[in-house]
Structure 1
Amino acid sequence: MTDALLQGLRRLLEPGASFTEISINRLCRESGVPRAQFYAWYEDKGAFIRTVTDDLFKMVDEQAAQWWPDPLARSPDQTTKIGAAVLRLYRENYPIFAALADTAVYDSAVREHFEESLAQVTNRITEVIQQRQADDPTLAALDAAELADILTYTFERTCYRHTKNADDATIDRLARTITSIVLSTIYGRVDHK
């Protein structure tokens, strides 16, 4: 049922409708799912978008996990390709991620879910930074969790602002930029040597 609703939501969002404009009745009609069945599974649209984006965040996290623990061990192209894959995943699911971000403004449960999802990413990056701090006195002077939070939100906002209509060349350019920012911040260089 979630897949049918997700595909229906994609069709409704495709022409540019906002998630807040889409009623549960409309979503159910588009998806071929009875309204009563929707409510048997979800309390409201917020619960639905939280469930759907859980799966998407897992996919993003799995893709992004390939970056760590040592992106310098790979060639610049390989590291950038991983970043580009994450950006492409976001682009392909942009309407769903945008629905989450837009709903988080007024729905406290969705906002909490969104923040928890980003916190998981931040925690992973915090661990990487803490490992690097032992080898880098300049990095050791910074608060690892705060730096990870800044990098996470920089990446998330880049995805939100720049991937919606981005072609592959733009995605590749964004990936090179983000890769350079992360590598220079955490590893002190972008040359991968």
Structure 2
Amino acid sequence: MQSFQAVVGRRRREASAREILEATRRLLAGGEPLARVSVGRILAEAGVSRATFYACFPDKRAVIGRLAQQSLAWREDVSGEALADPCLRRETLDELMRAIVRHWRANRPVLSAIIELAEQDPGMREAWSTAVGEIASQTAGHLRARWDGSPDAPDDPAWIAAAMTWMFERCCHQLVVDDVSAEAVAMALSEILWRTVTFRAGAGPGD
């Protein structure tokens, strides 16, 4: 059983870690480039000492990594199970795409920093690829369920899901900058996905 002092120390570290994470998020949300978000800048914004920082995180990359986990937690709230529904309606798909884009916009500063760091740091690149891969794997499962028994089913839904997931990541990262572009991207993604999941070989325009 932990001593009282140990419990107090752990809670203080957790509180300090939250302050550091929120301070880093504020700096990124304010438009600060990741390269300029040094440990010193984070300390000044969070109002904590250097010793406190290193008691919570080994370096800046670890802070960004923790923010990555938080910023991608929404993927569990945006269910893609509708993709498996044989009675899927276009309106449902539209709302799903809007939800994904909306969550991306809400976390854009951090997600942009993650992508920037992933291009330079192998550890972050692996973590980001794993996170995106989990989304692709879930999507592949929904697509398999939807296409189960269909003579038009593709040979490998996993690659289709992976390609679409990374396409969504690039579109959100590169094209979503305001309300207008967010709606346009969401509807474009919905159109692409709708045509993919409802495809039937030899079907005419009215079928």
TM-score (norm. length: structure 1): 0.85
Aligned match of 1:85 in 99, 105, 109? 99
Bigger relative contact order (CA 8 A; separation at least 6): 1
Q: Deviations over 1:87-137 (max 9, x none)?
A: 111112111000000001111111110011011001101112222332433
| TM-superposed deviation, 1:62 | 1.8
CA distance in 2, matches of 1:64, 1:6: 27
**Contact 1:2/1:52, CA 8 A, preserved across alignment:** no
Pair 1:183-2:197 in alignment: no
Q: CA RMSD in A?
A: 2.3
**What corresponds to 2:58 in structure 1?**
43
| 1:14-68 deviation line (CA, Å, top 9, x unaligned) | 3432112211111121122322222222221111111111122121332244644
Find the counterpart in structure 2 of residue 105 from structure 1: 119
Q: Which amino acid aligns with 1:148?
A: A
For residues 114-167 of structure 1, give each alpha carbon's deviation from its aligned partner in whole angstroms, at most 9, with x where no partner exists: 0110110011011122223324333333x221111101101111110122x221
Given the superposition, is the C-alpha separation of residues 88 and 71 from structure 1 closer, same or farther in structure 2, using an over 3 Å criterion?
Answer: farther
Equivalent residue pairs, number:
187
Residue 71 to residue 31, structure 1, CA distance change in 2 (3 Å): farther
Runs (4+) of structure 1 exceeding 4 A deviation are none
Name 2:13's counterpart in structure 1.
none
Measure, in 1, the Cα distance between the counterparts of 2:161 and 2:118: 22
- Aligned residue type for 1:178: L
Structure 2 counterpart of 1:9? 24
Q: Which amino acid aligns with 1:12?
A: L
Give aligned-pair identity as a percent: 26
Contact in 1 for aligned 2:143/2:197 (Cα 8 Å)? yes
Specify every segment of 5 or more residues in structure 2 that has no aligned partner in the other structure, as ranges.
Answer: 1-15
Alignment of 1:166 onto 2:188: no
- Give structure 1 stretches of 5+ with no counterpart: none
Question: SS state of the match for residue 193, structure 2?
Answer: helix
**1:91-130 paired onto structure 2 within 5 Å:** 91-130=105-144
Higher Rg of the two aligned structures: 2
The answer to whether structure 1 residue 144 and structure 2 residue 157 are counterparts is yes
